[in-house]
């Protein structure tokens, strides 16, 4: 990992929503960095706050009802202090967004080419003809066949996968330094998903940008991520290198998540219980109620701080890694049940490990 | 119990008419399901997998008679129907599609369906207990107390509380609602449950719980389950056998483990290799399919997968690199749709070259090169004869004779895959695949041998 | 039931070979209640029509001098329907009711509106039984409302104090009197009843026909749908205004005529609305699920489709009811109205005297305005209270 200043640095990000039922804390004290050229995945289930976290970075949430606290620095610049205009420039410029449902994100009244031209002109003061040329190049780059001919087509004339490619072209138009991709392949079929993941990988190499990738799918995480953040109920549970996370998942929640994966040839285990009430979170660790290893200390005070596990850049919010506890209890438990990737076979056929 | 399968589907078809104008004249049809056949033995789970638009959900609703199939038979050998008989008019007595209203109602008691979306599968204005008991009421259990007791008992058995009877669906989480749906499907003690994507709307941790519950219930009551899913991992988790659908047809069917370990059809192989593996040390080196799924209103001739198949069989008498042959096939597919705009190609070339070139002034050679480039066809094909045919076709294309180019390539480069539709043939005991590669030789890794055997 | 007399408590214990699907109509308690009370009403009507001599009071036998009119029968039916299908379900589902009520409560203007409308309803119902019909009494003309005054020259006899040549109002006529000496308070109270009758009865007709046509069209589809919706198209281009004028000219105006014409010719939009809503709902999985379980079309419409589309009519009704009330007032203002003491007539009657007797037009006008405003607020709030529930459902 590069040691110089991170591209994006998020400190104590807390996003709350005012609702009829009270104040709902969607993201609670999130800290993370993204370095140049790095892909960071936020993984979590619904209600974990991963999407809200990503939308809080460029403040594309509607405020109110949302309220954002904490510090977000992009290239050292405090995003929270930016004027509305500067924020718009940032969103349309250095930080690009792609979303889960491309059909909702494209405007159906304009041709796709026109929308990309607009994105280019919003950022760069170029002539229409020049912007059109750039747009065609971009469409070609993201794998739209016959880019010139399809320039004037409307979104409904594209398939789901093609629309997502158009969205990527739009996000790439201002040559962003950071691409925030919120479940970009969840709505797509697996064969199309693999096309899009390949495309993202290629363009990342070519443009050298960083990607913040939001997903619930551990398979996708394993494929795209350099570093992984595991979120649960608005809190960061564990962060680390992708290899470490899959080989030695340290937090009981991460372990449980891996054991949920179906089709591994082993019996899957669900996680008993349900998410805590986001308007009135319990004391202590948010996962304590569902955790098989929970002790009294887990249900007291605040969410445990992120302790180092001993492995480089691997931190986990669990009391077992703090003073006075033996972390091997968690790690051994993990070994006995066998993590998802513990028996990492290399056989590709079947998409899963057979042995 | 007899050895007879509980459900036999024979050549089931469901076509939707495409109509035009005020008079609703039929101008075509969407062949959502186009002749599928399979059996489900008692106590077994069959998975029907495929991508969106492959017709798997339509197959489910046609089997359960929510929609009337266009053709084919659905034989249900449940209950007292064990001894299959043939009616006097030679129709199968157990054919669901021929049932009279009374028989159909009885069938509906014995075959239940679970749907995908837990938020819409329960009536929001009905207490969940009433929802569970409703099928009993429909089928003539008039004792209200008995209905209530059975529903409470079931709530308990699917992992909820007896006191949840009086609560409303919006008070439950997605996973709990799916448990309630399962209870509702079970209440008439059916022999068959058709589950359409029962867990795809749920989080992975909840998915696992529901799948476990389904497995337990199946074991306890010896149910047969038809599971519709797009998720290969889910199918692998609970199915005994799997059928893979592509564009309304079953391309491969077999025992789950056998099919996952040794997929025969190129589509199944592509599908399996597209799944991201939750292990960062494994590279998803699998083949990426080109293009999108064609429209089921006008499916490709022959093998429906030939427009995207990486292993499409080469024409007789030519020798391509398989990758280049696939590229030429892509060009052919687009030509067949007349979807190449040579003006646009010239404009693109003009745009790419940084000098100021009028699109009209782009030389033919540059345009040809751009077309080759777009499809990934090399500057010169390895096989001289093939290259000369391709060069001729490109010449026609730059002269805007798409029809001529299409015809030339279709006659010269015709492959068995587009000519004949392959039928399902056995590749291993209980494992069938519909691919010309299988019908000639059991191995799939050697395309050349397949062609030479031809 | 199972062969042995014990009731099965587990689903697998049911012996289906013994279960005979019966054709017995399965009525819910409220449907039964509605049926019984409607039958009683019908019997009373027949008794009135055939047994009681014409021009005799209906309840002469028990010494109550009240001539029950056709309008009254119809209004009773409307009230019964409102009771059994709005009030009773609210009590049947206390949990859901509480939920809606909690949401509704937060809207203060809507609470005030509800209070005002309930008061209007009950005063309108009971008042005319207690108060005499406003009568001409020329000696009492132009009495000012209490705490106000009018030049002495305007009145013949001042009921209140006279000072400085001004006649002051008294509590005898708190809202003053008209140029004919009618007590405006009486007019207001009778007008409340007229407005409620017009609003509720027309809405009742519209709701029944609109929901029925809408759901049937949506669920049947095909030709039935086509036919019904084309009919709605035609009906909506038909000027019910002209028809009303024509019939009033022919038979004389009556409130029943007004309600019937506007009720029977205004359900088009409601039917359309219900249809589109029901079309959405038929795609819902619980409808498919009921079908796959073997539920009959009638059962699905009655138990799933109607309850789930009914609440959506509220928006429509919150606009329709005030528009009916306003229409009636407008017709009465123009002089085409029925011969009942309505707000519109009084506004019309007072407009010539606005220069000195402002209250004659203004007081009924204020009541009309507030009533319509209250319905609008109420409709908005109900929509807000009922809709978020759909949101939370899809979220969870």
**Range among B175-179, B444-448, C329-333, C334-338 with highest mean pLDDT value:** B175-179
Q: Residue B218 falls within a domain, yes or no? A: yes
Average confidence (pLDDT) over C166-184: 79
Q: Residue B152 falls within a domain, yes or no? A: yes
Per-residue pLDDT band at C1 (split at 50, 70, 90) = very low
Chain B residues whose beta carbon lies within 8 Å of the beta carbon of residue C26: 137, 142
Q: Residue B84 falls within a domain, yes or no? A: yes
**Looking at residue A352, what is its pLDDT?**
36
CB-nearest to A349 from B206, B261, B374 is B261
A→C interface, C-beta within 8 Å? 20
- Higher-confidence residue: C93 or B392? B392
Q: A350 and B263: CB-CB below 8 Å? A: yes
Which strands form C162-163's sheet, in the order they lie side by side?
C149-151, C166-168, C162-163
Q: Residue B212 falls within a domain, yes or no? A: yes
Domain identity same for B329 and B252: no
* pLDDT above 90: residue B244: yes
By C-alpha distance, the chain A residue nearest B210 is: A270
Which strands form A22-34's sheet, in the order they lie side by side?
A22-34, A8-19, A66-74, A77-78
- Higher-confidence residue: B132 or B144? B132
Residue ranges covered by each domain of chain A: 1-82+176-232, 95-174, 249-337
Q: Mean pLDDT, chain A, as a whole number?
A: 80
By C-alpha distance, the chain C residue nearest B130 is: C303
- Higher-confidence residue: C195 or A124? C195
Per-residue pLDDT band at B273 (split at 50, 70, 90) = confident
* pLDDT above 80: residue B190: yes
Average confidence (pLDDT) over C141-164: 77
The strand ranges marked E within C59-196 are 149-151, 162-163, 166-168
**Cα gap B34→C267, rounded to integer Å:** 44
Average confidence (pLDDT) over A189-216: 86
* pLDDT above 60: residue C396: no
**Looking at residue B452, what is its pLDDT?**
39
Chain C residues whose beta carbon lies within 8 Å of the beta carbon of residue B109: 16, 293-294
CATH of domain A1-82+176-232: 3.40.50.300
Cα of first residue to Cα of last residue in chain B, in angstroms, is: 45
Domain identity same for B15 and B139: yes
Per-residue pLDDT band at C395 (split at 50, 70, 90) = very low
Q: B120 and C308: CB-CB below 8 Å? A: no
pLDDT digits (tens, 9 = 90+) for C78-99: 888 888 878 887 887 777 788 7
- Min Cα separation A20/chain C (Å): 9
Among B42, B43, B72, smallest CA distance to B55 is for B72
Which strands form B111-114's sheet, in the order they lie side by side?
B111-114, B192-196, B224-229, B45-49, B241-246, B249-255, B431-433, B425-428
**Mutation site, A17, A18, A19, A20, interface C, largest C CB count within 10 A:** A20
**Looking at residue A341, what is its pLDDT?**
37
- Min Cα separation C89/chain B (Å): 11
Owner of token pair 């039929």: B26
Query: Any chain A CB within 8 A of the CB of C106?
Result: yes
**Judged by CB atoms within 8 Å, which residues 255-294 of B form the interface with A?**
260-263, 269-282, 284-286, 288-289, 292-293
**Cα gap A236→A219, rounded to integer Å:** 20
Strands A178-182 and A210-215: parallel
* pLDDT above 90: residue C168: no
Average confidence (pLDDT) over A331-350: 41
**Range among A289-298, B70-79, B215-224, C289-298 with highest mean pLDDT value:** B215-224
CB contact at 8 A, A230 and A45: no
Q: A222 and B345: CB-CB below 8 Å? A: no
Average confidence (pLDDT) over B129-133: 89
Chain B residues whose beta carbon lies within 8 Å of the beta carbon of residue C24: 142
Question: Which residues have CB under 8 Å from A225's CB, separation 6+?
Answer: A39, A40, A41, A213, A242, B280
* pLDDT above 60: residue A255: yes
- Min Cα separation A204/chain B (Å): 17
By C-alpha distance, the chain A residue nearest B346 is: A148
Q: Which CATH number fits the domain that encloses residue B137?
A: 3.40.50.300
pLDDT digits (tens, 9 = 90+) for C98-118: 877 887 888 888 899 999 999
Q: A344 and B275: CB-CB below 8 Å? A: no
Chains contacting chain B through 3 or more C-beta pairs under 8 A: A, C
Percent of chain B with pLDDT over 90: 10
Query: Any chain A CB within 8 A of the CB of B207?
Result: yes
Q: C19 and B140: CB-CB below 8 Å? A: yes
Read off the tokens for A89.
């420039």
Query: Any chain A CB within 8 A of the CB of C30?
Result: no
SS3 category, B312: coil
**Judged by CB atoms within 8 Å, which residues 333-352 of A form the interface with B?**
340-341, 344-346, 348-352
CB contact at 8 A, B93 and B85: yes
Q: Residue B284 falls within a domain, yes or no? A: no
Q: C22 and B140: CB-CB below 8 Å? A: yes
**Helix or strand holding residue B270 (H, E):** helix B266-274
pLDDT digits (tens, 9 = 90+) for B209-224: 888 889 888 888 889 9
- Phi (first) and psi of residue B415, to 5 degrees: -115, 155
Owner of token pair 């950022």: A123
Q: How many domains are contained in chain B?
A: 2
**Mutation site, A111, A113, A183, A190, interface B, largest B CB count within 10 A:** A190
By C-alpha distance, the chain A residue nearest C106 is: A20
Range with the poorest average pLDDT among B379-388, B404-413, C10-19, C226-235: C10-19
**Range among A21-25, A172-176, B48-52, C17-21 with highest mean pLDDT value:** B48-52
Chain A residues whose beta carbon lies within 8 Å of the beta carbon of residue C388: 20
Chains contacting chain A through 3 or more C-beta pairs under 8 A: B, C
**Mutation site, B67, B127, B133, B150, interface C, largest C CB count within 10 A:** B150
**Cα gap B138→B141, rounded to integer Å:** 8
Domain identity same for B225 and B331: no
Chain B residues whose beta carbon lies within 8 Å of the beta carbon of residue C16: 109, 139, 188-189
* pLDDT above 80: residue B446: no
The length of chain B is: 454
Q: Mean pLDDT, chain C, as a whole number?
A: 80
CB contact at 8 A, C332 and C344: yes
- Higher-confidence residue: A260 or C385? A260
- Higher-confidence residue: B421 or C396? B421
Percent of chain A with pLDDT over 90: 3
Per-residue pLDDT band at B245 (split at 50, 70, 90) = very high
**Cα gap B231→B201, rounded to integer Å:** 11
Q: Give residue B210's domain range.
A: 7-261
Chain C residues whose beta carbon lies within 8 Å of the beta carbon of residue A277: none
Percent of chain C with pLDDT over 90: 5
Chain C residues whose beta carbon lies within 8 Å of the beta carbon of residue A20: 103, 106, 388
The strand ranges marked E within chain C are 149-151, 162-163, 166-168
By C-alpha distance, the chain C residue nearest B127 is: C93
Per-residue pLDDT band at C392 (split at 50, 70, 90) = very low
Q: Residue B448 falls within a domain, yes or no? A: no
pLDDT digits (tens, 9 = 90+) for B332-382: 888 887 777 787 888 778 777 766 677 777 788 888 888 888 888 888 888
pLDDT digits (tens, 9 = 90+) for B281-322: 777 666 677 777 788 888 888 888 888 888 888 887 788 888
pLDDT digits (tens, 9 = 90+) for A61-119: 877 788 888 888 888 888 888 888 888 888 878 888 888 877 777 888 888 888 888 88
Per-residue pLDDT band at A19 (split at 50, 70, 90) = confident
Average confidence (pLDDT) over B399-404: 83
Query: Any chain B CB within 8 A of the CB of A302?
Result: no
- Min Cα separation C391/chain B (Å): 10
- Min Cα separation C394/chain A (Å): 13
pLDDT digits (tens, 9 = 90+) for B423-436: 888 888 888 888 88
**Looking at residue C116, what is its pLDDT?**
92
- Higher-confidence residue: A215 or C55? A215
**Looking at residue C119, what is its pLDDT?**
92
Per-residue pLDDT band at C267 (split at 50, 70, 90) = confident
**Looking at residue A333, what is its pLDDT?**
58
Per-residue pLDDT band at B241 (split at 50, 70, 90) = very high
**Looking at residue A264, what is its pLDDT?**
66
The strand ranges marked E within chain A are 8-19, 22-34, 39-43, 66-74, 77-78, 95-98, 178-182, 210-215, 227-232, 235-241, 307-308, 315-316
Q: A348 and B211: CB-CB below 8 Å? A: no
* pLDDT above 50: residue B442: no
């Amino acid at each position: 990992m590069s040691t110089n200043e991170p591209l994006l640095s998020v400190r104590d990000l807390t996003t709350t929503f005012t609702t009829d039922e009270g104040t709902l804390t969607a993201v609670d004290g999130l800290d993370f960095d993204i370095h140049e050229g790095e892909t960071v995945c936020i993984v979590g289930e619904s209600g974990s706050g991963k999407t809200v976290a990503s939308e809080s970075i460029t403040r594309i949430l509607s405020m109110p009802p949302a309220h954002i606290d904490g510090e977000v620095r992009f290239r050292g610049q405090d995003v929270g202090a930016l004027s509305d205009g500067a924020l718009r420039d940032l969103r349309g410029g250095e930080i690009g967004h792609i979303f889960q449902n491309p059909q909702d994100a494209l405007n159906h009244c304009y041709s796709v080419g026109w929308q990309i031209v607009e994105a280019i002109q919003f950022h760069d003061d170029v002539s229409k003809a020049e912007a059109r040329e750039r747009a065609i190049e971009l469409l070609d780059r993201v794998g739209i066949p016959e880019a010139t001919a399809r320039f004037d087509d409307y979104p409904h004339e594209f398939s789901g996968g093609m629309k997502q490619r158009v969205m990527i072209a739009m996000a790439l138009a201002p040559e962003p330094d950071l691409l925030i991709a919120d479940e970009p392949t969840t709505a797509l079929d697996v064969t199309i998903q693999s096309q899009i993941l390949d495309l993202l990988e290629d363009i990342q190499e070519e443009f050298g940008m960083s990607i913040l990738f939001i997903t619930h799918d551990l398979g996708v995480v394993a494929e795209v991520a350099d570093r992984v953040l595991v979120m649960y109920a608005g809190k960061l549970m564990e962060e680390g290198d992708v290899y470490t996370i899959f080989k030695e998942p340290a937090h009981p929640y991460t372990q449980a998540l891996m054991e949920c994966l179906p089709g591994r040839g082993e019996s899957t285990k669900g996680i008993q219980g349900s998410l805590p009430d986001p308007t009135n979170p319990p004391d202590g660790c948010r996962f304590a109620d569902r955790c098989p290893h929970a002790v009294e200390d887990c249900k007291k005070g605040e969410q445990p701080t992120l302790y180092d596990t001993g492995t480089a850049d691997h931190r986990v919010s669990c009391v077992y890694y703090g003073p006075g506890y033996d972390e091997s209890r968690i790690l051994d438990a993990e070994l006995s049940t066998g993590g998802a990737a513990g028996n990492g076979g290399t056989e590709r056929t079947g998409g899963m490990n057979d042995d | 119990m007899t050895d007879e399968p509980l459900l036999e589907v024979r050549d089931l078809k469901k076509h939707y008419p495409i109509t035009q104008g005020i008079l609703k004249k039929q101008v075509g049809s969407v062949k959502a399901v186009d002749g599928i056949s399979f059996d489900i033995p008692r106590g077994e789970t069959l998975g029907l997998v495929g991508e969106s638009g492959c017709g798997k959900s339509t197959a489910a609703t046609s089997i359960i008679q929510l929609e009337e199939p266009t053709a084919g038979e659905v034989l249900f050998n449940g209950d007292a129907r064990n001894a299959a008989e043939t009616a006097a008019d030679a129709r199968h007595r157990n054919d669901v599609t021929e049932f009279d209203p009374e028989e159909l109602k009885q069938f509906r008691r014995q075959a239940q369906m679970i749907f995908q979306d837990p938020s819409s599968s329960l009536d929001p204005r009905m207490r969940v207990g009433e929802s569970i008991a409703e099928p009993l009421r429909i089928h003539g259990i008039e004792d209200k107390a008995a209905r209530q007791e059975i529903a409470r008992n079931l709530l308990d058995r699917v992992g909820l509380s007896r006191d949840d009877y009086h609560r409303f669906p919006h008070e439950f989480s997605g996973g709990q609602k799916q448990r309630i749906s399962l209870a509702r499907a079970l209440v008439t003690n059916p022999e068959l449950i058709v589950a359409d994507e029962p867990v795809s709307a749920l989080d992975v941790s909840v998915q696992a719980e529901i799948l476990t519950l389904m497995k337990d219930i199946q074991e306890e009551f010896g149910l047969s389950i038809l599971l519709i899913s797009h998720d290969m991992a889910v199918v692998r988790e609970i199915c005994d056998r799997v059928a893979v659908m592509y564009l309304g047809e079953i391309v491969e069917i077999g025992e789950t483990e056998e099919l996952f370990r040794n997929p025969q059809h190129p589509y199944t192989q592509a599908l399996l290799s597209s799944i991201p593996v939750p292990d960062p040390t494994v590279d998803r080196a699998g083949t990426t399919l080109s293009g999108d799924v064609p429209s089921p209103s006008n499916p490709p001739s022959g093998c429906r997968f030939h427009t995207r198949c990486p292993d499409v069989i080469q024409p007789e008498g030519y020798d391509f690199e398989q990758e280049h042959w696939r590229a030429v096939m892509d060009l052919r597919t687009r030509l067949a749709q007349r979807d190449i705009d040579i003006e646009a190609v010239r404009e693109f070339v003009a745009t790419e070259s940084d000098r100021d070139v009028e699109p009209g002034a782009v030389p033919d050679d540059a345009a040809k090169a751009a077309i080759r480039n777009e499809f990934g066809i090399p500057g010169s094909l390895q096989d001289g004869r093939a290259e000369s045919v391709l060069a001729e076709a490109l010449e026609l294309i730059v002269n805007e004779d798409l029809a001529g180019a299409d015809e030339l390539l279709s006659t010269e480069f015709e492959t068995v895959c587009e000519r004949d539709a392959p039928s399902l043939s056995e590749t291993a005991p209980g494992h069938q695949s519909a691919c010309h590669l299988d019908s000639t030789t059991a191995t799939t890794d050697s395309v050349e041998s397949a062609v030479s055997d031809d | 039931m199972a062969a042995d007399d014990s009731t099965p408590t587990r689903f697998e214990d049911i012996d289906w070979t013994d279960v005979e699907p019966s054709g017995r109509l399965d009525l819910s308690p409220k449907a039964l209640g509605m049926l019984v009370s409607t039958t009683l009403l019908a019997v009373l009507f027949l008794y009135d029509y055939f047994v009681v001599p014409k021009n005799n009071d209906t309840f002469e036998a028990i010494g109550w001098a009240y001539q029950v009119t056709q309008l009254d029968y119809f209004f009773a039916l409307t009230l019964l329907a409102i009771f059994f299908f709005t009030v009773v379900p609210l009590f049947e589902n206390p949990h859901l009711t509480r939920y809606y009520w909690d949401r509704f409560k937060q809207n203060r203007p809507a609470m005030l509106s509800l209070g005002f409308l309930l008061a209007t309803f009950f005063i309108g119902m009971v008042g005319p039984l207690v108060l005499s019909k406003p009568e001409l009494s020329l000696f009492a003309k132009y009495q000012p409302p209490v705490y106000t005054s009018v030049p002495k020259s305007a009145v013949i006899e001042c009921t209140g104090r006279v000072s400085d040549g001004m006649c002051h109002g008294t509590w005898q006529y708190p809202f003053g009197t008209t140029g004919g000496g009618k007590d405006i308070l009486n007019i207001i109270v009778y007008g409340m009843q007229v407005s409620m009758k017009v609003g509720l009865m027309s809405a009742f007709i519209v709701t029944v026909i609109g929901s029925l046509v809408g759901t049937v069209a949506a669920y049947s589809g095909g030709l039935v749908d086509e036919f019904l919706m084309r009919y709605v198209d035609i009906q909506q281009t038909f000027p019910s205004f002209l028809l009303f004028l024509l019939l009033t000219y022919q038979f004389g105006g009556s409130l029943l005529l007004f309600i019937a014409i506007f009720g029977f010719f205004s359900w088009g939009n409601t039917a359309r609305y219900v249809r589109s809503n029901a079309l959405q709902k038929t795609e819902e999985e619980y409808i498919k699920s009921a079908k796959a379980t073997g539920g009959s079309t009638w059962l699905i419409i009655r138990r799933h489709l109607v309850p789930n589309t009914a609440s959506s009519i509220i928006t429509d009704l919150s606009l329709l009811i005030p528009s009916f009330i306003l229409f009636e007032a407008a017709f009465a203002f123009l002089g085409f109205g029925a011969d009942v003491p309505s707000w519109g007539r009084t506004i019309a009657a007072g407009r010539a005297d606005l220069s000195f007797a402002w209250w004659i037009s203004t007081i009924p006008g204020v009541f009309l305005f507030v009533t319509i405003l209250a319905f609008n607020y109420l409709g908005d709030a109900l929509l807000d209270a009922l809709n978020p529930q759909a949101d939370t459902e899809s979220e969870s």
